[in-house]
């Protein structure tokens, strides 16, 4: 790519994933994409580019759409996209690298043409009902190992032969017993950040949960903005103070504990509620145990000391 | 890129599904952009303990498989991060062919770009080769790309499919840059057209 400015590619197959209807309160973009991956598996999109559509997708902010598209690769697909609309244009208008003046008008006209024709055919189509999506967490070491927080750790014996060994290995690595309610899983660390969930809206959602509450004793929680611009904006909105007040660390922007390439990493055996995209063995540090979830759910876990349905936080009086 | 015609080598069994690229080469080794030298970190966390000693149970640490040239694995091999270091590490270790029921898309493509032949086979065929591979150093397997045939240790043959263009590139050792440069006139013409239609993509600093 750097040598020639081009890449040899074969046209991908087309897949459409429609999410129709209204999301319940407390359910967001991360829950949508985890639900999709849980349904189709990490190889479900192999060879395809996915277009996300439907009223629940159109209702998402640009940040939420980016979360969904970002995790497309965890579903095996090459790329994820959402047709540009007013939400897209509002997001781009005035950004540092956006075209300006006449070039902007020209670009808008071009972008508006980039939508799928009515009646277009796809190689594969999936439809989800937004109303049925719940806050999700992962229970294993693959992003497809997803369940609603109301669920329990599954029994490996309940899977087909191909998946059984992987599930056994996951549960052994994560030190989880089948049948354990997911909401009973205690955590040591919380990571809010990454390219999946380090945008301003993610930080707003987490701050909304954290406001006026305290991180549970013994839990180390950190918030890492996705970029310098996000950090600036969050500080302008006072989100940093909410987090610090609640006992979160407020950090410099970067990849941080998504992949533990710097000193931000889990110690062996530590368990983390993370807003990143991958829960592979060792991803957040050798021997570290990762549960993926939304920023609101990760913040709720930090306050409770265990995985928890963010919608139940108030009733627990914390 | 090294040509791939035929390969006779010990096949190592890795009976796991969803082997991800973090397992193949963990992130701490991604700071290099050199393709060589990554072989000793291949499958690092499964291959070595915290003190850096070999974990005897791991397949590539067993005497029979230390010089394996073929890997037989489960579904969705190479999923996760798109790091090209994964095929680099396999190649540097000496693995030139991976056989599995299915592969993650980007990893699959990266193999061809680095002279590794990934072969997709029905589960039954993979199971047979896995059982063969379990037999250790005596179980050499021959992969012939020209005739698209795998010959097992018992002489049994398995036919495999491969895209004809990719096959051609592997046999000839042609990489992407070479392929691209042969189309440079078309690329230039496209860029001129694109500059006129979407000039905002071509700003050169402000």
Cα of A216 to nearest chain B Cα, Å: 31
What is the average pLDDT value for chain A, to the nearest integer? 95
ipTM for the whole complex: 0.74
Give the closest-approach CA distance of B134 to chain A in angstroms: 17
Task: Give pLDDT, residue A316.
Answer: 52
| pLDDT tens figures, B188-205 | 999 999 999 999 988 765
Give the pLDDT score at A317: 46
Mean pLDDT of B68-92: 95
Give CA–CA dist A238/A232, Å, rounded: 10
Nearest to A261 among B28, B180, B197 (CB): B28
Alpha-helix runs per DSSP H in A19-100: 29-40, 55-58, 62-70, 86-92
Kindly provide the b/e burial profile for residues B12-45, where b requires at least 16 CB atoms within 10 angstroms of the residue's own CB. Answer: bbbebbbbbbbbbbbbebbeeeeeeebeebbbbb
pLDDT in tens, A279-313: 999 999 999 999 999 999 999 999 999 999 999 98
| Nearest residue in B to A6, CA atom | B180
Q: Kindly state the percentage of chain B with pLDDT values over 70.
A: 98
CA B73 – CA B19 distance, rounded (Å): 8
Q: What does the pLDDT read at residue A3?
A: 73
Is 80 exceeded by the pLDDT of residue A159?
Answer: yes
Contact B16/A at CB under 8 A: yes
B197 contacts chain A (CB < 8 A): yes
Which of A11, A43, A162 to mutate: most B Cβ within 10 Å?
A: A43
Inform me whether the pLDDT recorded for A37 exceeds 60. Answer: yes
- Backbone dihedral region for residue A163 (phi beyond 0: left; psi -120 to 50: alpha; all else: beta): alpha
Nearest-angstrom CA–CA distance, A43 and A60: 25
- Confidence (pLDDT) at A1: 66
pLDDT at A318 over 60: no
Q: What is the pLDDT of residue A315?
A: 53
pLDDT band, very low/low/confident/very high, at A7 (cuts 50, 70, 90):
confident
Kindly write down the DSSP assignment for every residue of B182-202, as one continuous string: TTHHHHHHHHHHHHHH-GGGG
Whether residue B185 lies within 8 A of chain A, CB to CB, comes out as: no
Tens digits of residue pLDDT in B28-48: 898 887 888 999 999 999 999
Structure-block tokens of residue A7? 């890449």
Token pair belonging to A217 = 């004793």
Which pLDDT value is given to residue A314?
67
Query: Is the CB of A166 less than 8 angstroms away from the CB of B18?
Result: yes
* The model's pTM: 0.88
pLDDT of A233 > 50? The answer is: yes
Confidence category of residue B16, pLDDT binned at 50, 70, 90: very high
Q: Which residue has the higher pLDDT, B136 or B7?
A: B7
Å from A107 to nearest chain B CA?
7
Chain A positions touching B203 (Cβ under 8 A) are 99
Contact at CB, B50 and A286, closer than 8 angstroms: yes
Distance from the Cα of A288 to chain B's closest Cα (Å) equals 12
Per-residue pLDDT at B205: 53
Question: How large is the average pLDDT for residues A77-89?
Answer: 97
What is the average pLDDT value for chain B, to the nearest integer?
Answer: 93
DSSP A182: G
Query: Which pair of structure tokens corresponds to residue A150?
Result: 């109301």
């Amino acid at each position: 790519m750097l040598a020639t400015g081009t890449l040899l590619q074969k046209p991908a197959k087309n897949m459409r994933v429609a999410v129709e209807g209204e999301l319940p309160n407390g359910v967001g973009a991360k829950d949508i994409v985890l639900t999709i991956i849980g349904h189709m598996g990490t190889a479900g999109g192999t060879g395809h580019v996915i277009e996300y559509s439907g009223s629940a997708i159109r209702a998402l902010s640009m940040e939420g759409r980016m979360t969904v598209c970002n995790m497309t690769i965890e579903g095996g697909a090459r790329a994820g996209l959402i047709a540009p609309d007013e939400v897209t244009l509002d997001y781009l208008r005035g950004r540092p690298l956006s075209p300006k003046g006449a070039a902007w008008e020209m670009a808008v006209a071009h972008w508006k043409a980039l939508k799928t024709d009515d009646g277009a055919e796809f190689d594969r189509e999936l439809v989800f009902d937004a109303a049925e999506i719940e806050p999700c967490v992962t229970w294993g070491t693959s992003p497809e190992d997803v369940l609603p927080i109301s669920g329990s750790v599954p029994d490996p014996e309940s899977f087909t032969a191909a998946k059984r060994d992987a599930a056994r290995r996951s549960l052994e690595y994560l030190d989880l017993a089948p049948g354990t309610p997911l909401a009973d899983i205690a955590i040591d660390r919380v990571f809010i950040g990454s390219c999946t969930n380090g945008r301003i809206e993610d930080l707003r959602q987490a701050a909304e949960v954290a406001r006026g509450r305290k991180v549970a004793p013994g839990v180390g929680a950190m918030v890492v903005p996705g970029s310098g611009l996000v950090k600036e904006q969050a500080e302008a909105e006072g989100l940093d103070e909410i987090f610090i007040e609640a006992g979160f660390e407020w950090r410099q922007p970067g990849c941080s504990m998504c992949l533990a390439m710097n000193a931000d990493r889990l110690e062996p055996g530590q368990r983390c509620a993370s807003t990143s995209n991958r829960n592979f063995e060792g991803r957040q540090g050798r021997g570290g145990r990762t549960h993926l979830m939304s920023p609101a759910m990760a913040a709720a876990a930090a306050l409770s000391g265990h995985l928890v349905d963010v919608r139940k936080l108030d009733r627990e009086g914390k | 890129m090294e040509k791939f015609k035929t390969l006779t080598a010990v096949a190592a069994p890795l009976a796991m599904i969803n082997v991800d690229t973090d397992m193949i080469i963990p992130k701490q080794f991604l700071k290099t952009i050199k393709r060589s030298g990554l072989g000793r970190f291949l499958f690092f966390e499964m291959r070595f303990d915290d003190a850096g000693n070999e974990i005897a149970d791991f397949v590539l640490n067993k005497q029979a498989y230390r010089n394996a040239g073929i890997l037989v694995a489960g579904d969705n091999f190479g999923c996760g991060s798109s790091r090209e270091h994964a095929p680099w590490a396999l190649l540097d270790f000496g693995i030139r062919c991976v056989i599995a029921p299915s592969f993650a898309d980007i990893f699959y493509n990266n193999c061809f770009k680095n002279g590794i032949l990934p072969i997709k086979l029905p589960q039954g065929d993979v199971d047979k080769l896995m059982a063969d591979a379990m037999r250790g150093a005596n179980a050499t397997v021959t992969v012939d790309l020209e005739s698209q045939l795998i010959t097992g240790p018992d002489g049994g043959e398995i036919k495999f499919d491969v895209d004809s263009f990719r096959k051609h590139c592997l046999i000839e050792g042609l990489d992407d840059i070479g392929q691209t440069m042969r189309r440079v006139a078309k690329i230039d013409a496209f860029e001129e057209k694109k500059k006129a239609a979407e000039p905002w993509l071509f700003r050169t600093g402000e």
